[in-house]
Amino acid sequence: MDTTDPVQDPRELADNDAGSPSYKGFKPGWRFYLAFSSLSVITLMAALDATSISVALPIMARALGGSALEAFWSGTSFILTSTVFQPVLGSFSHIFGRKPMIMLSLALFGAGAIIAAVADNFTVVLVGRSIQGVGGGGIIVLTEVVVTDMVPLRERGKWFSFISSMWAVGTVIGPLLGGGFAEDVTWRWIFWINLPFIGIGAVLIILFLSLNYKTGAFVEKLKRVDWIGATLFIASTTGLLIPITWGGVMYPWDHWRTLFPLLLCAVGLIGFVAYEKYVAPEPLIRNVFTNVTAAITYFGTFIHGLILWCLLYYLPLYYEAVKGFSPIVAGVALMPQTLTVAPAAIAVGAAVAITGRYRWAIWSGWVLTTFGAGLLIYLKVDTTTVEWVFINLVSGLGTGILFPAMALTVQAAAAEADAAYAATMFAFFRAFGQSVGVAVGGTVFQNQVKKKLESYPLLAPMAEEYSRDASALVEIIKAMPDSAPEKLMLRTSYVDGLKYVFIVLTALSAVTMVSSFWTKAFPLDRELETEQGFQEKQAKKDEEKTSATPSQ
């Protein structure tokens, strides 16, 4: 399929024309590799922290005497604050510099880890996790932004794939690490373990991440900040995500405590967009939705995050509730899905760098993701180990392919000078999808499990209570003796609820797959345009210019 339309955008090219490389000066040295290693280390740390606490929350609740609701918010606060502050910290890096904002993010992340580690109640844990989330959001977005400063577009896919693989490895190891610490040592080590990563990452960044950035008066920089836009964005996005998170858990979706903030903050976001477009002298978020390709791919990024996080949340619950696995073994069972993400991302990044073409990766990624999500519908109570291993492989390949493919597409669709802004919005929409994913899955699961339980006379009286929380239902099922007839009914109901979650994910993926056919092909061979490029590269360019200038 060739969907190019040269009349719409002269930068578009057909897939049979990869272009000739116009930028051949990218020759990374040892300082570049060490600088990139620093970004990889802190990305791995953020991924470990984001996923390690989930399996430890029941143990933490018992140790701290907390309620299920407090445990829920302690697990949710990280991703909520991380999502909200990503565009803000990404925007601040254009004013205050990438490196200072990375160091600030590391400091916030470390401070939050220490607060959570020494906490003696869930209120303190919640504060620590929220601060960690702000720092984690900065780490996630700024690592991707810095890659756009360091690497030309043609080569960028390979390096984005390494960052994505660090996140994939972290999501695999995180639950195992969290479960191991919580069961065999202490849950506090889930937070203490971050400090060595912070130390190593900070030292490498200080020594080797040298970016070209013009320093200036701090007061003048403060004046450039879009404070009104930042306030509108943080307030509206937070007010939107909180009711999405508690809808169906704390309050019904039709309750005024859910609907009112949703509607109010949706209006606030509309006001934010209008302010940024017509009023803000230096907008917090630059307009990178300039063409159909960009709009489609940002939508796909949102759906990709939603699907990925939903799978990472509900598949372990399937193994725990239906198969009776412990949290650690459930994390191991997830490996067929998670361990295919990193190899797929690296292979695609390398292939795009060699060929200069990326649309094939977008299309094949969505086809495999849709097919893989559809296969998950066939998970049953008696599904064998061999069957669920192979069922999980397909969705892992699909989501892995999409990581670098979509990151490159949004940047290819934007002007090279706006690549950092495109990377910021890519990270935000992925995180926003992750925040919404569990809520969407929870609503579908709750409604379907309740309906199924009501069909069993033995369980009908408890249908409302049992269906309220997929995670809490795991413990109820495990506590029942194997001989109890209710246990098989609950396991069957659990599988039925998950089946409809996977049906919804398949439908969303299919819609996105069809929309991706309108993705245009843009050339990847461009000169690297950035004000904060890597100094090793910049020094070589200056040397070449000097040698090319005739002596007077």
- For the segment 138-195, what is each residue's pLDDT rounded down to a tens digit? 998 999 888 888 888 888 888 888 887 787 778 778 877 877 777 777 888 888 988 9
Q: Is the pLDDT of residue 10 over 60?
A: no
Residue 535: inside a domain: no
Q: Are residues 258 and 358 in the same domain?
A: no
- CA 276 to mean position of chain CA atoms: 25
Share of residues in the chain with pLDDT > 70 (%): 90
d(CA 112, CA 119): 11
330 lies in the same domain as 422:
yes
Pairwise pLDDT comparison (531 vs 36), residue with the higher score: 36
Q: Are residues 181 and 276 in the same domain?
A: no
Highest mean pLDDT pick, 213-227, 307-321, 461-475: 307-321
User: Does residue 181 belong to any structural domain of this protein?
Assistant: yes
**Of 195, 177, 173, 168, nearest in space to 56 by CA:** 177
Q: What mean pLDDT, rounded, does the chain reach? A: 82
CA–CA–CA angle 225, 231, 235 (5° rounding): 155
pLDDT score recorded for residue 25: 62
Are both 231 and 327 inside the same structural domain? Answer: no
Per-residue pLDDT tens for 429-467?
A: 988 998 888 778 878 888 888 888 888 888 888 877 777
Residue 313 lies in a domain: yes
Distance CA(274)–CA(112), nearest Å, equals: 34
Q: Do residues 442 and 155 make contact, with C-beta atoms less than 8 angstroms apart?
A: no
**pLDDT of 350:** 87
Classify residue 377 by its DSSP letter.
Answer: T
Q: Are 154 and 61 members of one domain?
A: yes
Domain range for 235 = 227-281
> Could you please report the per-residue DSSP string of 469-494?
-HHHHHHHHHHS-TT-HHHHHHHHHH
CATH code (residue 457): 1.20.1250.20
Beta bridge partners of 251: 247
241 belongs to a structural domain: yes
CA distances from residue 73 to 67, 69, 124 in whole angstroms, order as listed: 10, 6, 12
Q: How confident is the model at residue 546 (pLDDT cuts 50, 70, 90)?
A: very low
The pLDDT tens digits of the residues spanning 30-81 come to 888 888 888 888 988 888 888 787 767 777 777 787 766 677 777 778 888 9
Last residue of a domain, one of 281, 301, 320: 281
How many domains does the chain divide into?
3
Give the global pTM.
Answer: 0.85
Does 302 lie in the same domain as 362? yes
**pLDDT one-digit tens code per residue, 333-362:** 888 877 788 888 888 888 988 888 899 999
What is the C-alpha to C-alpha distance for residues 393 and 395, in angstroms, rounded to an integer?
6
DSSP string for residues in 107-162: HHHHHHHHHHHT-SSHHHHHHHHHHHHHHHHHHHHHHHHHHHHHS-HHHHHHHHHH
Residue 3 lies inside a defined structural domain of this protein: no
CA distances from 12 to 5, 169, 290, 413 (A): 7, 35, 13, 9
Q: Are residues 165 and 311 in the same domain?
A: no
Give the DSSP letter string of 241-293.
HHHHHHBTTTB-TTSHHHHHHHHHHHHHHHHHHHHHHHT-SS-SS-----SHH
d(CA 413, CA 422): 9
Question: Are 498 and 325 in contact, with CB atoms under 8 Å apart?
Answer: no
311 in a structural domain? yes
Q: Inform me whether the pLDDT recorded for 11 exceeds 60.
A: no
Do residues 256 and 159 both lie within one domain? Answer: no
Sequence-ordered list of residues with C-beta below 8 angstroms from that of 208, at least 6 positions apart, any chain: 31, 34, 35, 38
Pair (239, 374) in one structural domain: no
- Judge whether 532 lies within some domain: no
**Residues 440, 397 share a domain:** yes
- Residue 412 and residue 267 share a domain: no
- Chain centroid, CA 59 distance in Å: 26
Let me know whether 425 and 454 are in one domain: yes
Cα–Cα–Cα angle for 522, 523, 529, nearest 5°?
A: 110
Q: Is residue 203 part of a domain?
A: yes
Q: Please tell me which residue, 245 or 98, carries the higher pLDDT value.
A: 98
